Structures are given as C-alpha cells and as structure tokens.
C-alpha cells in the first residue's frame, strides 16, 4: 500500500510540475463548450429531420403567413393552396420561402407549371414549381399533392421528375411555388 | 374539379375560355391572353420565359422559329415537331398558340405574306408527328435557311 501511495504521489507531483492550474481550467472549459455545441452540428440536425417522423413539418419551422387575406395559409404546410400540384420538399422549411430558395442554393430555370385555386377569391392562379438545386436534401416537409399529375410516359407532365435542369448541380433540395398570373376563368 | 392543375412543360386539359379578341392580337390569334396562358402551361416550363430554351434539350424559339417559314418543308415542320404535334391542346387552340409564338418570339423574321396556321392545317399536320428524326430535320432545314436567306 505504501508503494501505491508513493507511486501516486510521484505521478501527481510530476503532473503538477508540468502543468499550471490555468491550463487545467482551459482544457476543462474546452470540453464543456464542445459538449454544448454538439447539438448544433449538421449531423445532429439531420438526425432530427427524419422524414419518417410523421409530421412533415417536423415541428422545426415556424409558421410563415403572408399577412394578406388574399393569400391565406401557412406556407410551411402541405395544405397551403399554392402547393396543390407539388411533389417535393417545401423550401419554406429549409431557410427559404415559398418564393425563394435557401441561401446558397440555385433555382432551376426549367420548371413544371400548373394551376391552383386560391381559396380567398376562388380564382385559378398559374403556379410555377421551381426546384432548388445544389443543397442538402433532408426530406424535410415532404409534400405530394400531385393535382393534374400525369404518368411518366409523358415525362413533361410528370412531376416526379427532378427538374434540376439548367443549374450547376443536379442535386435536388426543395421546391418553391411562384405565382405567374391569374388563369383565365373557365366558362361552365 | 377544384382547379385546372397541370404539371410539366406541357399540360393536359383545354380550358374553355372567352373568345374576346385582344387589341394587340396578331393574325391568327383570336385571344392573345389565352395564347399566353396556353404557352405558359404547355411550353414555357422547358422553353423558358424568353423562349431561349436549352441547347441540349429544348431548341430556342427566340430569333429562330419564324425562319422555318422561309424554306420548303419548314411550315410543315412547325406543325409536326413533337412539342406541337403531341400537345394536349385542341387544334384551334394549338393553331392560335403557334401563330402567337411566331409573333411573340420571332416576329422580325416572319414573312410579310405569312398566312396564319388554321385549326384544319394544324389538325392535318399533327397526325404525322416527328419523333427521333425531328432534330435531324431541324438541322437540315436550318442549313437551308442559312443558304437561302430571307424570302
């Protein structure tokens, strides 16, 4: 036992002679700060953004309302009226919006286009669904409404095609829904 | 049906629309707004808003499309090219759309004596749609255009 005490004393004295109290606090502080930062890493976000978690919004995105009664609804939700013919992930859940891609992601100039009825005025609006390309696709806020979708034998009318054409990257990230105009009303 | 939703570079249904002539409608276009809508829903997604298309997949209309009217076979090509011939639009709407596109994207090259496409003519041409040979025929016609110049 005395030998063990002697060995422990020798090790501790050696350690104390090589290090200062300040350096010990520095190392301990680094561990504490690192532990706090771990949940902020992209790996952790990816794990939370599991597309199979049930709620397509994953509870991570604050509601985005226009504040205009003529454009009602939450743009982070799949039932927002402009998404009637969408097949993809909502850019509103990626740091973008219904009109813009997330930062650093490129909007495809080649699009698929449909019409959706605005519940506020019961008119049909022409909507361009532009894919945003070049970022990471977490599968967040997946939304498939597919109104007017056609079989893939008519690829130009099939919205399962990834429309990342004319962009630097063909890697799909999410989709926006731009209003191009009001459709001419049908006669009954 | 809740809306006229359509997907893609082409659309699938023909809305019944008012027949009021637009004040600036070119020859063969009864309703320029309807023609714009049919362009938007059927063509614009791939040909892009300015008609410039994509070199590898979608030929440019801008500054080019009316030149096909300069040479024999060019008019027939415009009615048989896949994007036109296989469109879901009715013959009358399709004829109006082709007339509108010529005017919108390449009016400077339209022959002064251009007779507008009619529903009957488009209906006849689209019964023989071009397939894989379309790009070859296009190249041959544009070569003739280069050789002949404007009429």
pLDDT in tens, A135-170: 988 888 999 987 777 776 666 666 677 789 889 999
Nearest CA to CA, how far is B23 from chain A (Å)?
A: 17
**What mean pLDDT, rounded, does chain B reach?**
86
A131 is annotated as an active-site residue:
yes
Q: Taken in order A165, A168, A170, A176, is the CA torsion positive or negative?
A: negative
Q: Are strands A87-89 and A112-118 parallel, antiparallel or unpaired?
A: unpaired
Count of other CB atoms within 10 angstroms of residue B134: 17
* Residue A107 or residue B12, greater confidence: A107
Please give the Cα distance from B55 to B43 (Å, whole number): 16
The tens digit of pLDDT for each residue in A52-63 reads 444 344 556 788
Count of other CB atoms within 10 angstroms of residue A80: 24
pTM for this entry? 0.74
CB-based contact B89:B10 (threshold 8 Å): no
User: Residue A157: its pLDDT value, please?
Assistant: 66
Closest CA to B82 of A155, A17, A77: A155
* Residue B129 or residue A61, greater confidence: B129
Mean pLDDT on B61-72: 97
Query: Looking at the partner chain, which of A109, A116, A187 has a beta carbon nearest the beta carbon of B16?
Result: A187
Backbone angles phi, psi at A57, to 5 degrees: -85, -10
Q: Inform me whether the pLDDT recorded for A46 exceeds 60.
A: no
Q: Does A116 touch chain B (CB under 8 A)?
A: yes
Nearest CA to CA, how far is A33 from chain B (Å)?
A: 50
Q: Inform me whether the pLDDT recorded for A25 exceeds 70.
A: no
**What mean pLDDT, rounded, does chain A reach?**
77
Q: Among A112, A138, A149, A163, which one carries the catalytic annotation?
A: A112
Strand partners, A74: A65
Strand partners, A176: A130
């Amino acid at each position: 036992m005395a030998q063990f005490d002697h060995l422990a004393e020798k090790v501790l004295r050696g350690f104390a002679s090589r290090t200062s109290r300040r350096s010990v606090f520095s190392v301990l502080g680094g561990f504490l700060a690192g532990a706090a930062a771990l949940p902020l890493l992209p790996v952790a976000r990816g794990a939370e953004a599991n597309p199979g978690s049930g709620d397509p919004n994953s509870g991570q995105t604050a509601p985005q309302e226009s504040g205009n009664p003529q454009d009602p609804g939450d743009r982070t939700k799949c039932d927002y009226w402009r998404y009637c013919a969408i097949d993809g992930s909502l850019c509103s859940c990626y740091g973008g919006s219904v009109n813009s891609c997330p930062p650093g992601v490129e909007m495809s100039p080649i699009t698929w286009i449909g019409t959706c009825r605005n519940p506020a005025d019961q008119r049909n609006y022409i909507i361009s669904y532009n894919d945003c390309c070049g970022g990471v696709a977490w599968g967040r806020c997946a939304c498939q409404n597919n109104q007017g979708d056609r079989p893939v034998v008519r690829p130009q009318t099939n919205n399962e095609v990834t429309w990342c054409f004319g962009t630097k990257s063909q890697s799909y990230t999410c989709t926006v829904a731009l209003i191009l105009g009001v459709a001419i009303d049908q006669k009954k | 049906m809740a809306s006229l939703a359509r997907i893609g570079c082409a659309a699938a249904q023909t809305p019944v629309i008012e027949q009021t002539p637009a004040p600036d409608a070119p020859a063969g276009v009864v309703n320029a707004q309807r023609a714009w809508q049919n362009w938007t829903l059927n063509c614009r997604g791939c040909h892009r808003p300015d008609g410039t298309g994509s070199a590898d997949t979608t030929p440019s209309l801008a500054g080019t499309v009316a030149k096909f009217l300069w040479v024999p076979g060019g008019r027939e090509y415009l009615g048989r090219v896949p994007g036109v011939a296989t469109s879901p639009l009715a013959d009358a709407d399709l004829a109006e759309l082709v007339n509108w596109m010529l005017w919108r994207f390449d009016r400077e090259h339209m022959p002064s004596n251009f007779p507008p496409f009619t529903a009957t003519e488009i209906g006849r041409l689209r019964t023989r749609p071009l397939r894989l040979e379309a790009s070859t025929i296009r190249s041959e016609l544009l070569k003739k255009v280069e050789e002949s110049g404007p009429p």
